[in-house]
Amino acid sequence: MSGFAFELVSPEKLVFSGEVQQVVVPGTEGDFAVLSDHAPIISALRPGFVTITTGKGDSQTLFVRGGFADVSAKGLTILAEIAVPASDLTDAIFDQEIALATADVSAAKSDETRQIADERLAQIEALRTDVRH
């Protein structure tokens, strides 16, 4: 199986760059797996986990909050608002994420914006519950 180029970038740094076999992405319409020669697509991200599988079969999982995934002939690029290795997730990080999402709900000026913010808050709370189990 041939690999493809993948980069995961957050505002702070280049989190991952290299050739991979597969990346599972938390798109707003659901998780999707990207393999070599995937059709071009651009997707917004929801809070969730990106799972990277390298050519050696090693995998790495990172929590991402928002951003975009761009699949092109050159490979996959994810621009994430935040990217944290799953092994580094703490209650403090989830508390901060929930506080930010709650503030977004409070600041929403329309029903549509409030609904989106509510969904994001629910997704983060569900992820916190999943990680604890």
pTM (global) more than 0.85: no
Instruction: Quickly list H helices, the chain.
Output: 91-107, 111-132
87 burial type by CB count under 10 A (0-12 exposed, 13-18 middle, 19+ buried) = exposed
Confidence band (pLDDT; 50, 70, 90) for 116? Answer: confident
Task: Give tens-digit pLDDT for 16-55.
Answer: 999 999 999 999 999 999 999 999 999 999 989 999 999 8
Across-strand partners of 61? 51
Across-strand partners of 25? 32
Predicted local confidence at residue 121, as pLDDT: 83
From the list 76, 59, 67, 72, the residue with the least C-alpha distance to 26 is: 67
Task: Give tens-digit pLDDT for 70-112.
Answer: 999 999 999 999 898 888 878 888 888 888 888 888 898 998 8
Predicted local confidence at residue 131, as pLDDT: 67
CATH entry 2.60.15.10 includes domain 4-86: yes
Predicted local confidence at residue 55, as pLDDT: 82
Task: Give phi and psi for 46, each to the nearest 5.
Answer: -105, 165
C-alpha–C-alpha distance, residues 10 and 107, integer Å: 24
